[in-house]
Amino acid sequence: MFPVATLTFDGSSRLFRLPQWLLQLLIAVLALLGSALVVARSAGRWMVAIERVRSGQPSG
C-alpha cells in the first residue's frame, strides 16, 4: 500500500518494536486525517461563501 513508507520505517520498526501492519495502519490513519482536514477546510469555505451569497453580501 505504501512501499515508500514501508522502506522508510523498516529500520525504525525494530526500535519501536511495532509490527509492520500496525505501522502501516498508523500511516493510513494519519493520511486519512490529513485529507479529512483539507476537505473540512474547503467545505467550510464553501459554506461561508454560500452564506454570504444568501445574505446578499459580496463574496471576497
Of the candidates 19, 16, 20, which has an alpha carbon nearest to the alpha carbon of residue 6? 20
pTM above 0.85, yes or no: no
At 20 the pLDDT is 84
At 40 the pLDDT is 93
The tens digit of pLDDT for each residue in 5-60 reads: 455 555 554 555 668 888 899 999 999 999 999 999 999 999 999 998 999 876 55
At 10 the pLDDT is 55
The number of residues making up the chain comes to 60
At 14 the pLDDT is 52
Q: How far is CA 50 from the centre of its chain?
A: 25
At 37 the pLDDT is 93
